[in-house]
Structure 1
């Protein structure tokens, strides 16, 4: 949801009118997103439209401010399918205790939460509710069905990170599938339809260059917050790909290849006009190091690195420090 849509919903609620939420506003309830779910679906949107009141306007107003400020934030939804269970079910013997009260009530709840764990809601919530509301930042909810009678869903208030895969290699095909699965917006660029096609890249945006080379790459533009993975077949167009990524000053650029090949690419990139400082920005070889060899294994290494870069980019120093403590990596 964009800022204007959020403010419109808040205004409707304050005026005593229905929020008018749709699955477009809350794609976490779309038929596609909830396929196979016993409790989530498009009908949840109708339930929230019936439940929301003027008290809930503060949630959408805070969300609008988060969008305007570029905050890392979510709108979350508590979905109740058994009110008695939701209220009376307390923590089991395995989980940490959050008091003697289950969920605060048996009603649906919409709330705001950001990476600083600021929570805004229009009605009181219990400590156990708060535990699950904060977990929404692990997206969409790490423990969404941990307790009986209710479940949780969320909508991020920020865009997906775009990842450019320059080259439709076998490794790129594996990277595209995995990167899309973990929430990246994937664009694949190549000049050969034999490699860049729907069968190999069914969900990614495909950009087919003309002329049998990467010369047409110059006509494309990347944003400074984008990521670039240089995965050209046979490494033949790695220099052009690196120069393009560096010219657009993307947030991350990584290139596959051994040291010997990278030395030659280095010379060609410098000859192409890049500085040594720019070359040092290229992560080489791309991916986490754990012995990956096959295209599928390399994809795990590459996407794992992309996830780590995204985590460091998106979350505040305070949030990262807290997470590192939780992982025992202080």
Structure 2
């Protein structure tokens, strides 16, 4: 989320104006994100904006501070479409009990929540609201529509992880679609427009190299928090991809290929001055292991691994420990 968006909302509320909330700033309410949901959509933003008052300023101020501090935090939205149902619905016979009260007051609410479970809101939340507020901002959000009368949405206050796809292979096409779907910023790189084009990579930033090679990679900086997937067609430029990713100290580097091919790439990469320690950082073969063979299956394996790496990188040690324990790998 942009810092100036939060500043503008705060200024409007201080001046007694109804802030203009747009899907550009809050894409969780876009037509694409809410397709098929009868209770939330772009028009919901205007309804929410009309409920905001000066009492909500601390919520947005806390969000602004989170942006400045790089906190793992979200703005959350409790969207009530049937007040009586929202208040009257209580826990069912299957889920954990959170008391005999449904939604706290049957009114929509904007709130702040971060990985440390700090919640800031203009009004008190019920125990069940608190559970759902935490769930929508960091979990699988399976409970958004668990109860009648209300639903939940959230916007992250931190940027997307950038994933570089080096090579416009068929596997990269599938990875690009799935990685975009789960919230990564995808950058696809190749030198051949027959493979790197809008039809194959409609949602990715596309960088076209020149000269029929990946030599121009050297002129493009990556960031230390970027992820790099080396997926060049025919593995022809895998060495150049690995060298570039390691020289830029990318957080994650993965390369597709068999052991024999990887041995050849190893020799070429080390000959270029990369240390053995850095070479060992390359995940090879890339992706989780579950028998994936086709490009689509490989994409599931690769993006599954990217999601796991992102989770390990972003969440607090306490949150990671809880999750690792639940996965049986602590």
Band of TM-score, shorter chain? over 0.9
The answer to whether the 8 Å contact 1:140/1:153 transfers is no
Q: Determine whether 1:59 maps to 2:59.
A: yes
Give distance in 2, aligned partners of 1:296 and 1:33. Answer: 23
Aligned to 2:102: 102
Q: Secondary structure in 1 aligned to 2:320?
A: helix
Uncovered stretches (5+) of structure 1, i.e. residues with no partner: none
Give distance in 2, aligned partners of 1:133 and 1:7. Answer: 23
Aligned to 1:188: 188
Q: Secondary structure in 1 aligned to 2:32?
A: coil
Q: Secondary structure in 1 aligned to 2:67?
A: helix
Give distance in 2, aligned partners of 1:185 and 1:261. Answer: 29
Q: Residue 329 of structure 1: CA displacement?
A: 4.2
Match runs of 1:158-173 below 5 Å: 158-173=158-173
Match runs of 1:55-134 below 5 Å: 55-134=55-134
The answer to whether the 8 Å contact 1:139/1:154 transfers is no
Q: Residue 324 of structure 1: CA displacement?
A: 2.6
Aligned to 2:16: 16
Uncovered stretches (5+) of structure 2, i.e. residues with no partner: none
Give distance in 1, aligned partners of 2:235 and 2:271. Answer: 17
Aligned to 1:303: 303
1:31-65 deviations in Å (ceiling 9; x for gaps): 23222220111221111121111111111011011
Q: Secondary structure in 2 aligned to 1:253?
A: strand
The answer to whether the 8 Å contact 1:228/1:252 transfers is yes
Using the size of structure 2 for normalisation, the TM-score is: 0.96
The answer to whether the 8 Å contact 2:2/2:25 transfers is no
Match runs of 1:247-258 below 5 Å: 247-258=247-258
1:123-149 deviations in Å (ceiling 9; x for gaps): 011001001000023367331100000
Match runs of 1:201-240 below 5 Å: 201-240=201-240
Q: Residue 328 of structure 1: CA displacement?
A: 4.6
1:211-234 deviations in Å (ceiling 9; x for gaps): 111112222221111100001111
Q: Residue 305 of structure 1: CA displacement?
A: 0.7
Q: Secondary structure in 1 aligned to 2:77?
A: strand
Equivalences, count: 330
Aligned to 1:242: 242
Q: Secondary structure in 1 aligned to 2:218?
A: helix
291-300 vs 253-262, greater mean Cα deviation? 291-300
Q: Residue 183 of structure 1: CA displacement?
A: 1.0
The answer to whether the 8 Å contact 1:223/1:250 transfers is yes
Q: Report the RMSD for the aligned CA atoms in angstroms.
A: 1.5
Cα distance change on mapping 1:117 and 1:86 into 2, 3 Å: same
Aligned to 1:198: 198
Using the size of structure 1 for normalisation, the TM-score is: 0.96
1-10 vs 199-208, greater mean Cα deviation? 1-10
